[in-house]
Chains A and B, each alone.
Chain A
Amino acid sequence: MTTANNTQPAIKDQIREFIQENLASVKGITSFRDDESLMENGVIDSLGIFRLVTFLEESFGVRIGDEEINPENLKTVDTIEQLVLAKSKK
């Protein structure tokens, strides 16, 4: 999926916006890059991860198993987008 839908923001924008509003702001983090580790910068904590997964499942209609909740998949906005894209194809 390389073309962004005109009526809906691109997946990556939605992911970034959710993380900013729900996980980053409450920790006083105002900006982060798409390739920045969300664990190292403290945006994602142990509970935030599950809010994020619930958001991804509900917004993009994918099912993410406990095994897939790992640092490789959820490290950055970029890797989260890749996870959603890979799951949507199935």
Chain B
Amino acid sequence: MAYILQQLLTKSAALYPEKTAVWARGRSITYRELDQRSNQLAQLLHQHGVRKGDRVGIYFPKAIESVISMFAVIKAGGVYVPLDPAAPADRVSYIIGNCGIRVLITNDEKRRGLGEATLSTLDLAVLTDLELKSGNGGKIAPWSMLSQYSATDKPAVSLTETDLAYILYTSGSTGRPKGVMLSHQNALTFVEWCAATFHITSEDHLSNHAPLHFDLSVFDVYNTIEAGATVYLVTEDIALFPVTLANFIESKGITVWYSVPSQLILLLLHANLKREKLAKLRTVLFAGEVFPMKYLRQLSELLPHVDLYNLYGPTETNVCTYYKVEPNRLDSMDKLPIGIACENTEVFAINDQDQIVTAPGESGELYVRGPAVTYGYWADAEKTAKMVVPNRFQKNFQENMYRTGDLVTLAEDGNYYFMGRRDSMIKSRGYRIELGEIESALLSHPGVKEAAALAVPDDVVGNRIKAVVSTHEAKPLPSSELQTFCAAKIPKYMIPELIEFMEDLPKTSTGKIDRVRLAQAVPV
């Protein structure tokens, strides 16, 4: 049994050296090559000072080199931090500074976009493209340097399962993203549960639709490697076009698919899907947002041969509950459950009286305990102490549990149902979005006096974002100016699609923005 993630690769490289491990953008790599290339990169990183626990950024559009980089960093004892290549440079620079990244694996274009202030903090940039151009701010190593290192050696580091493997940044309510720290054990708890539950074998073809900074990709990459299967990375040229994506699923013989529901809905609505085309597909997993029942019924009818699973869990626990869709119950259900706890995890709801919910029909906030739970947020003890709390129901030893902030109801059938959030976090296209982060971006514009971001429910993407703003000057700013301004601070999926202007935003008696009255004033 593996206790650190790279052991999954070592095992599969020995069993299936010539098998394709990863395919992306028309290129593929075998298990032997993946193992050897990641050994070489690990040595390069080690030689340039990467030691146990050091954070290494991975910052370029998804490619074979992404998976090589992930394994190389952990083989060097480091902690990888996937950085969204589509995020504004300002946000990426913040993350680089926040978790003290001094070595970055990137490409020439992305590196240049970062700006001198950030580049000067780096010790090394490894460039995945061969071109070597001169630049200031730290040393540069081209990918071609890998061949100088032995393919079979790797740095001697001693890691245990409780060491960190990666940090995933998600939206933060205070206006800055926060880094969720995940250990090898956190990841393997999920990977082993998936392997046992979905029976992934070396014959399987998995897709990877989610970006690598999104925790859904942990399943795609590591469960592929665990089983000796093949993962096909879905890049933007495929993902955007439903018909192209459907052809990809068919031609690559994808057997296991995992994505947010909105991508599956786009496939349903616009890909003219035929059962015969998806004959090889056997399991579809979805997570990240609520799947509207009308579309789930259509998907289930279209794919009667496919097992559908709703997976639930914040990044802090990866996945903690699941529900296997029962097609014969779909017609009578008006809401999809998030299900029951994964077998190696425990969840419970705590009600307002601070008691664990045991009776059907009762509601409470969902808590998670077990080896899947994060240690907390990088360099943010305050936020960590709020969310990763001592388990007061455990009398015999000390342990932590994660409070999800999600309100759930326990139903007669033993399943939990998601009811809503305690705070102002929303989901759009599966992305976690703190409305506060959007408001903070708007408020940093010198012309803006007050700002409130609102979620507008949408059948396909979950939520669209609208903002209401008041300005210092009497005349409103052009929406496009504010959107452009936001684009330098927050990712594209967080920028309000619609911005309305009011003279003053309605307030509650305590002086806070009154969201109820606001929603009435600007009907969505």
Q: Choose the segment among B2-10, B371-379, B481-489 that binds chain A (4+ C-beta atoms closer than 8 Å).
A: B481-489
Contact flags (1/0) for A11-37 with B, using CB distance below 8 Å? 000000000010001111110000000
Chain B, residue nearest A75 (CB): B237
Chain B, residue nearest A49 (CB): B240
Assess whether A49 is in contact with B241, with CB atoms less than 8 Å apart: yes
Residues from chain A with a CB closer than 8 A to the CB of B460 are 47
Quick one: which of A46, A67, A70 contacts B239, CB cutoff 8 A?
Answer: A46
Give the size of the chain A interface in residues (CB under 8 angstroms): 22
Q: B207 at interface (Cβ–Cβ under 8 A)?
A: no
Within 8 A of B (CB), among A33-90: 39-40, 42, 44-47, 49-50, 66-67, 69-71, 74
Chain B's nearest CB lies how many Å from the CB of A67? 5
Assess whether A70 is in contact with B461, with CB atoms less than 8 Å apart: no
Within 8 A of A (CB), among B200-240: 236-237, 239-240
Assess whether A29 is in contact with B237, with CB atoms less than 8 Å apart: no
Residues from chain A with a CB closer than 8 A to the CB of B272 are 66-67
Cα-based distance from A67 to B251 in the complex (angstroms) = 16
Give the interface residue-count category, chain B.
20 to 34
Chain A, residue nearest B488 (CB): A28
Chain A's nearest CB lies how many Å from the CB of B187? 28
Chain A, residue nearest B429 (CB): A46
Q: B497 at interface (Cβ–Cβ under 8 A)?
A: yes
Instruction: Evaluate whether A45 and B484 lie within 8 angstroms (CB atoms) in the complex, with A28-B492, A69-B270 already known.
Output: no
Q: How many A-B residue pairs have CB under 8 A?
A: 66
Assess whether A47 is in contact with B461, with CB atoms less than 8 Å apart: yes
Instruction: Evaluate whether A66 and B242 lie within 8 angstroms (CB atoms) in the complex, with A27-B487, A39-B236, A46-B263 already known.
Output: yes
Residues from chain A with a CB closer than 8 A to the CB of B244 are 70-71
Cα-based distance from A66 to B484 in the complex (angstroms) = 31
Quick one: which of B236, B484, B495 contacts A40, CB cutoff 8 A?
Answer: B236
Cα-based distance from A49 to B492 in the complex (angstroms) = 15
Cα-based distance from A29 to B429 in the complex (angstroms) = 21
Residues from chain A with a CB closer than 8 A to the CB of B240 are 39, 44-46, 49, 71
Quick one: which of B241, B461, B486 contacts A28, CB cutoff 8 A?
Answer: B486
Cα-based distance from A40 to B396 in the complex (angstroms) = 55
Residues from chain A with a CB closer than 8 A to the CB of B160 are none
Contact flags (1/0) for B73-113 with A, using CB distance below 8 Å? 00000000000001010000000000000000000000000
Assess whether B241 is in contact with A71, with CB atoms less than 8 Å apart: yes
Residues from chain B with a CB closer than 8 A to the CB of A69 are 241-243, 270
Chain B, residue nearest A71 (CB): B237
A interface majority secondary structure = loop
Cα-based distance from A30 to B487 in the complex (angstroms) = 10
Q: B356 at interface (Cβ–Cβ under 8 A)?
A: no
Cα-based distance from A47 to B260 in the complex (angstroms) = 14
Assess whether B86 is in contact with A42, with CB atoms less than 8 Å apart: yes
Q: B266 at interface (Cβ–Cβ under 8 A)?
A: yes
Quick one: which of B236, B266, B270, B483 contacts A25, CB cutoff 8 A?
Answer: B483
Cα-based distance from A42 to B88 in the complex (angstroms) = 11
Residues from chain A with a CB closer than 8 A to the CB of B270 are 50, 66, 69
Contact flags (1/0) for B421-461 with A, using CB distance below 8 Å? 00000000100000000000000000000000000000011
Q: B480 at interface (Cβ–Cβ under 8 A)?
A: yes
Chain B's nearest CB lies how many Å from the CB of A63? 14
Chain B's nearest CB lies how many Å from the CB of A4? 26
Residues from chain A with a CB closer than 8 A to the CB of B485 are 28
Within 8 A of A (CB), among B450-506: 460-461, 479-480, 483-488, 492, 495-497
Residues from chain B with a CB closer than 8 A to the CB of A21 are 480
B88, B239, B263, B487: most-surrounded residue (chain A CB, <10 A): B487
Assess whether A45 is in contact with B492, with CB atoms less than 8 Å apart: yes
Residues from chain B with a CB closer than 8 A to the CB of A67 are 243, 272
List A residues at the B interface (Cβ < 8 Å). Answer: 21, 25-30, 39-40, 42, 44-47, 49-50, 66-67, 69-71, 74
Q: List 28 A-B contacts (CB under 8 A).
A: A25-B480, A26-B483, A27-B492, A27-B495, A28-B484, A28-B485, A28-B488, A28-B495, A39-B236, A39-B237, A40-B236, A44-B240, A46-B240, A46-B262, A46-B263, A46-B266, A46-B429, A47-B460, A49-B240, A49-B241, A66-B242, A66-B243, A66-B271, A66-B272, A70-B243, A71-B237, A71-B240, A74-B241
